[in-house]
Structure 1
Amino acid sequence: MNDSKTLLTAAITAAKLGGDVLMRYLRDGVEIRSKDRSDAKTYDLVSDADIESEKAIGNYLKQQFPDHALLGEENLQADTDSADLWIIDPLDGTNNYAHGVLQFAVSIAYYRDGKPVVGVVFNPARDELYTATIGGGAFLNGKPIQVNQERTLAESLVGCGFYYDRGAMMRKTLSAIEAFFENDIHGIRRMGAASLDLCHVAAGQFGGYFEYHLAPWDFAAGALIVSEAGGQVSDANGEPLRLKKTSILATNTHLHDAMLTITKKHH
């Protein structure tokens, strides 16, 4: 069985391989196209950068761990019950990437028997590398990070995300945002990359973050990073987070109940 240090080193190497692909396409130009999903219309985008990044990550991890399963957003399929599972988002924040907004990341997590062991989120445009191992703490570029100690919503900046749906789910999210403002938060930030939003909670910039629809590759690494930074993660109804499409609420722990009251009401 591989130890967490070996797994973390591999995850970092893989994330940087994916990041190199993203930066090359960002410099040289990339064609962005719609995934053409009926529930997302033209808002859910993909590019050759996503696909090549995932291929580079997948090939490397398969070489290192031939018996491990790989689950990715684009073409890698695996059972989430796999004993040794890598969960990969080769480009989180594709819409940002498409518009030249440098808020995007590669996200890689390793789960053993359904439990997180390693999480890496890498923004190659800003050279920001967030890492965590179970029981080992959370780090940004090798320096420890912790959630903030805000005790009330009136002290806090809150992050949120929107799924591509422009109907009922969007209205629920907007209703929750209105409720947060009624609780005198400092502001709302919708940054457009869930993995990095979670890292902003872990690093103490956001008091909390919520979104009503995410896939496992969106949160698998970031959720571990939040937990290892001293935060709390659940779904938007307060239930344990599972490796499936779900909602999410991540906080500095102190604000979890207050935020949950809002996210649960409007979910």
Structure 2
Amino acid sequence: AAVVDGEPVAAAIVAPAIGDTYTADDTGAYRNGEPIAVSDVDEPRKAAVDPTIWWAYDARDEYARACEAIVTRFGDMRRFGAAQVVLPTVAAGGLEGTITNLRANPWDTVAGVFVIRQAGGRVTDLDGERWRHDSKGVVASNGALHDEVLATANEIESD
């Protein structure tokens, strides 16, 4: 991602294994040069959500809570294993959301977050505030289901 004054202005994500290149700039978001947009699904039972970023082995209880929260609220859970693939998949409408309660590395997330925003989606931290490179948690959605996705992300933390 290219960043000016702390804000992304352009991004590129290359996923050679699946043959996709995602880009975004001030004109929109694209997959292989074609415009993309987030999905218009607005019913949780029809939505697919992904728990992203890697939880350490000793944090398996948090990962289990993430999975349980997703399958309890949404119609499907998918696991892609890499934020660099998951985030642009949300942008292209292949998922309705993705969550983690962890502080993600900027090199894993900044480009994908920008692609989602340029595709019409929403990305916040665990408090529902605009996500930044130093935020705790990543809550990304198509926008229509953001409140549900955010509530799900907040179920991960132990009481």
| Match of residue 178 from structure 1 | 68
Greater helix proportion: 1
Residues 1:262 and 1:164: Cα distance change in structure 2 (over 3 Å): closer
Q: CA RMSD in A?
A: 1.5
Distance 1:130 1:203 in 2: 9
Query: Do residues 206 (structure 1) and 88 (structure 2) align?
Result: no
* 1:35-66 deviations in Å (ceiling 9; x for gaps): xxxxxxxxxxxxxxxxxxxxxxxxxxxxxxxx
User: Distance between the aligned counterparts of 2:149 and 2:67, measured in 1?
Assistant: 11
Number of the residue aligned with 2:6:
114
Q: Which runs of 5+ in 2 are unaligned?
A: none
Query: What is the DSSP-based 3-state SS (H/G/I as helix, E as strand, rest coil) of the residue aligned with 1:246?
Result: coil
Higher relative contact order (CA 8 A, sep 6+): 2
C-alpha displacement of 1:234? 0.8
Distance in 2, matches of 1:218 and 1:187, equals 24
- Counterpart of 1:144 in structure 2: which amino acid? P
How far did 1:236 drift? 2.8
User: Which residues in structure 2 correspond to 1:7-86 (within 5 Å)?
Assistant: none
**How many pairs are equivalent?**
156
Give the Å deviation of 1:175.
1.0
Please state whether the residue corresponding to 2:144 is helix, strand or coil.
coil
Please say if residues 215 and 246 of structure 1, whose CA atoms lie closer than 8 Å, have aligned partners that are also in contact.
Answer: no
Contact 1:139–1:145 (CA<8 Å) still a contact in 2? yes
Q: Give the deviation of 1:161 after TM superposition.
A: 1.9
How many percent identity over aligned positions? 33
Aligned to 1:235: 125
Query: In 1, are the aligned partners of 2:69 and 2:155 still within 8 Å (CA)?
Result: no
The one-letter amino acid of 1:208's match is G
Give the match's secondary structure for 1:167. helix
Structure of larger gyration radius? 1
CA–CA distance in 1 between the matches of 2:53 and 2:13? 20
Contact 2:97 2:142 in 1 (8 A): yes
- What TM-score, normalized by structure 2, do the two folds share? 0.91
Following TM superposition, by how much is the alpha carbon of 1:177 offset from its aligned partner in structure 2, in angstroms? 1.9
